[in-house]
Structures are given as C-alpha cells and as structure tokens.
C-alpha cells in the first residue's frame, strides 16, 4: 500500500479521503465515561494481570514445555490459551483506560440525573421504589442495581430533575417513574 508523508508519520492513502476534521474525528474511537470505582477496578485488574497472572502463565508454559512433546501436551495448550486470554484482556483494559474519562460528581449539586449518580424512582404502576446507579455499559449489572446510561431507562432519566415524572419505553411497554431522590456519591 502506498503511503504519503504527513508530519513525522506515514499515513495510508485511504485516510486522506477524510476531508474535514469532523470526518476524521468520527473515525476515532469514542471516549468511555467511567465512574471512579470502575476506573480504579480496571487499574487494579491491569496491575494484577501484568504483575501476577502474566509471569505465572509464562512459568506454566516453561514447565509444560519441559515435559517434552508439545503436540500432545494438554498442559502446554491450556497455558498458551490462558496466555492469549491474559494478553487480550491486558490490551482491552489498556484501550479502555486510554479512552476513559472519569466522571467526578464531588463538586456538583445533586439537582439532576447525570452519569454516575444514584437515583431513586417511584414506579407509578407498581407503587414501588427502585434505586439505580447510572453507569457505563461495561459497569452495568442489574443485580447490583447499576444500569447503563445507554439503556432505555438510563437514557430516559439523564437530565431530569427531582420530582420529575419520566415515561420510559421498555420492551414490556411504557413505564412511568417519578424521581424521588438523587445522590452524587
């Protein structure tokens, strides 16, 4: 493939069809909003993978290799598969951390629903209260009452204020919630 010199780097010809800054920006990876807890958890997982898991799997490969014939060595195959998983996960976490921005709510007044806040809703149909934390897609876990900011409920709640009534279209139909509490934790 032919390349043209631009600044200090070579760029493939197919990049030059992007004429505007907007077109170029749209091809870049999108940034990922993370809560402080999720950012710290990813950093800890990365440290563990690099400092503990990677050296362990390298040792496991060396031990399996020492057993002889690699073509029929299940321990070697398992260690190589584990190494592939670890290296893939390291790349994935590095990519997320490179694109991540941590949403800090500590200096904000809890007057509206935003990413990272905890919101308590009153379901007008069932007359029950539900509390959710609005998080990123990777952090979402309904069992822990964490919903994605891109989920139907998350999208509908973002930007609304205390005592607002919000109608949400969900797979089972339309639900109506009243926002009864917002916390920035």
Residue 80, in any domain of the structure: yes
Q: Which residues pair with 149 in a beta bridge?
A: none
- Which residues in the chain show pLDDT less than 70? 1-29
Task: Please tell me the total count of domains within the chain.
Answer: 2
pLDDT of residue 22: 42
Q: Is 82 exposed, middle or buried (0-12, 13-18, 19+ CB in 10 A)?
A: middle
Q: What is the CATH number of the domain that holds 127?
A: 3.10.50.30
Q: Among the three residues 102, 136, 159, which one is the final residue of a domain in this structure?
A: 102
Q: Are residues 80 and 131 in the same domain?
A: no
pLDDT of residue 1: 40
pLDDT of residue 29: 53
Residue-number span of the structural domain to which 169 is assigned: 118-183
Residue 65, in any domain of the structure: yes
Q: What is the CATH number of the domain that holds 90?
A: 1.10.287.180
pLDDT of residue 185: 78
Cα–Cα distance, 56 to 71 (Å, whole number) = 22
The radius of gyration of the chain from alpha carbons, rounded to an integer in Å, stands at 24
Residue 1, in any domain of the structure: no
pLDDT of residue 6: 41
Residue 126, in any domain of the structure: yes
Q: Among the three residues 102, 137, 161, which one is the final residue of a domain in this structure?
A: 102
Q: What are the tokens at 79?
A: 């260690």
Is residue 100 within 8 Å of 32, Cβ to Cβ? Answer: yes
pLDDT of residue 85: 96
């Amino acid at each position: 493939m032919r390349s043209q010199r631009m600044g200090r780097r070579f760029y493939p010809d197919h990049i030059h069809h992007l004429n505007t800054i907007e077109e170029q920006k749209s091809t870049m990876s999108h940034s990922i909003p993370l809560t402080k807890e999720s950012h710290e958890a990813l950093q800890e997982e990365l440290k563990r993978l690099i400092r503990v898991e990677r050296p362990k799997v390298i040792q496991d490969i060396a031990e399996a290799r020492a057993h002889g014939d690699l073509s029929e060595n299940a321990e070697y195959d398992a260690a190589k598969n584990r190494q592939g998983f670890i290296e893939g996960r390291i790349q994935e976490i590095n990519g997320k951390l490179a694109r991540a921005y941590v949403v800090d709510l500590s200096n904000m007044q809890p007057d509206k629903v935003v990413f990272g806040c905890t919101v308590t809703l009153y379901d007008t149909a069932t007359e029950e209260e539900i509390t959710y934390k609005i998080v990123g897609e990777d952090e979402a876990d309904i069992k822990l009452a964490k919903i994605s900011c891109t989920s139907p409920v998350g999208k509908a709640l973002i930007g609304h204020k205390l005592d607002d009534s919000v109608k949400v279209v969900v797979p089972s139909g339309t639900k109506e919630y009243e926002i009864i509490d917002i916390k920035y934790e």
